[in-house]
Amino acid sequence: MTLALDEARAAAAAGETPVGAVILDPATGEVLARAGNRPIGAHDPTAHAEIAAMRIAAARLENYRLTDLTLVVTLEPCAMCAGAISHARIGRVVFGAEDPKGGAVVHGPKFFAQPTCHWRPEVTGGVMAEESADLLRGFFRERRKK
């Protein structure tokens, strides 16, 4: 999660919402991908940290299936990201802060619990949640001042 928080801080420094993601191979401990949010800079509404990290890992592995890998992200994934996680067949998702407004794993549609969801990763939430939430709160507090 520390690496994901580093990516979130880098995203914030670039003016993006501070969310960071890392994809790990739990069998080897290797970090396959790191990314921060970048929809503004990339002019791409799908450029969430999770999507960017999955794209990097898939290109690196030359496989769109990321089975048995772990995605670590600082914020509960939204519905778009949860759908991509399911399609990529990520084995485990670890997230930091919960997102009652936009989250889709433990909030909102609870994507992985839906009967139409074809792949359900193991999910662990609340890892370094306070640090992740503080980063988001601070970012938006500063934005409101402007």
Distance spanning both ends of the chain, measured CA to CA = 30
Indicate if 7 belongs to the active site: no
Angle among Cα 89, 98, 66 to the nearest 5 degrees reads: 15
Residue by residue, DSSP assigns 75-142 as E---HHHHHHHHHHTBSEEEEEE--TTT-SSSSTT-GGGSTT-S---EEE--TTHHHHHHHHHHHHHH
Was 48 annotated as part of a binding site?
A: yes
Instruction: Check the annotation: does 81 bind a ligand.
Output: yes
Of the residues 7, 16, 50, 76, which is catalytic? 50
117 is in an annotated binding site: no
The annotation places the binding site at 48, 78, 81
Which residues are designated catalytic? 50
Q: Tell me the binding residues for Zn(2+).
A: 48, 78, 81
